[in-house]
Amino acid sequence: MCAAAAAASEPVRIFAAASLQGPLDTVARDWGHPTSISYAGSGTIARQISLGAPADVVILANPDWMAWLQEKGVVTDASRELISNRLVLIGPREAMPLLDPDAAALLVRLAGARLAMGQHASVPAGIYARAWLEHIDAWQALHPHLAETDNVRAALALVARGEVPLGIVYGSDAIAEPDVTLLWTVPQDQHPPIRYPAASITPEGAAFLDFLMTRTDAFLAAGFAALP
């Protein structure tokens, strides 16, 4: 009985994409049971869990990393899509909008500085950003001018602190940070669909995930987008 009581008091360990910070904290508090949330880039999370990091629930910002965990047999339950998002171009608070920017317009606004975005090979926001830049034939021109980060919130912080004049993040990030302004919302047909897959790894994680799937309202209120 003592062992069962100790197990019941253990926090549910949640590994989540950095862009979920804020509304996921709210949902975890509302659940009413102990939780422990580790935020990072989706690629970092996937590698940590594959190497044995103890997790009950994993929520990523890209289906490819979830598929990778499933292929390795780390995640055996089917994943569920939680929410969507939008890709946006941001600048410091007083920056002027950029309407339908191309490579030339982006380079002019950078003026020799760098564009912040997630690492293009592993961070989902960076993967989506590269897809957009390739779609508008700007990747080759912008690639030498990137400041790539290990998660999207780090890219957001570079713009908020005025260290770079441009960043590519999620719409929910732009809403969460008062020291940046939205310059352009990338059309959704110019990058792969943004999806947040979630999966449980333990029965304790399954209980939290069931509750989480009923609380998409918290994410919509924070600037995320509904699934189609």
Position 6, amino acid: A
Over the stretch 4-15, which tens digit does the pLDDT of each residue have? 334 457 999 999
The one-digit pLDDT tens for each residue of the chain (228 residues) are: 333 334 457 999 999 999 999 999 999 999 999 999 999 999 999 999 999 999 999 999 999 999 999 999 999 989 999 999 999 999 999 999 999 999 999 999 999 999 999 999 999 999 999 999 999 999 999 999 999 999 999 999 999 999 999 999 999 999 999 999 999 999 999 999 999 999 999 999 999 999 999 999 999 999 999 998
Whole-prediction pTM value? 0.90
Residues 185 and 199 in one domain: no
CATH number for the domain spanning 148: value is 3.40.190.10
Pairing verdict, β 166-170 and 87-92: antiparallel
Over the stretch 197-226, which tens digit does the pLDDT of each residue have? 999 999 999 999 999 999 999 999 999 999
Residues 169 and 150 in one domain: yes
Cα(9)–Cα(35) distance, rounded to whole angstroms? 10
Q: What pLDDT was estimated at residue 108? A: 98
Residues 185 and 136 in one domain: yes
Cα(225)–Cα(89) distance, rounded to whole angstroms? 16
Cα(14)–Cα(128) distance, rounded to whole angstroms? 24
Number of domains in the chain: 2
